[in-house]
Amino acid sequence: MNPRKPEFVLTLIAGITGIIAGLTGVVSGGLLAALSGSEEITESVAMTTADSEALAAMGGLTVILSGLALVIGIALIIFAVLIKRNAKVFGILTLVAGVGGFFLVHLIWIVPGVLAVIAGIMCLARKVQTI
């Protein structure tokens, strides 16, 4: 049996769900930025021009931060593949990526963040038994 299989599986699932979280953020930020210029939305909610510009800026920032979260999700998949080579280094990188995603997309990152943190802690704390 592979000695680092649980860490591999947890990091892989964290990477896949991280990609889903990043894509969700990119789509929602793009939708937010696109709706900020809609006249129907601005008239029905009685938004001012400054409100519309702020909404467009917030949508653009959401797209940028979610794009970074998407990159972290892809990096987690790469870490999952390389975790067997050097568990300590990739455990630390997995921990940093898991915590860093919380700062980028907040609540969308709950599942991948928790899984990545658990996998990173397991890489650092668990000793592999040799037969």
Instruction: Please give the model's pTM, rounded to 2 decimal places.
Output: 0.87
Percent of the chain with pLDDT over 90: 65
pLDDT at 130: 66
pLDDT value at 1 more than 60: no
Q: Which residue matches tokens 């998407």?
A: 70
The closest alpha carbon to 7, from 129, 130, 131, 125, belongs to 125
**Dihedral sign (CA 38, 42, 45, 47):** positive
Domain boundaries, the chain: 5-125
Detail the DSSP E strand segments found in 16-122. none
Residue type at position 26: V
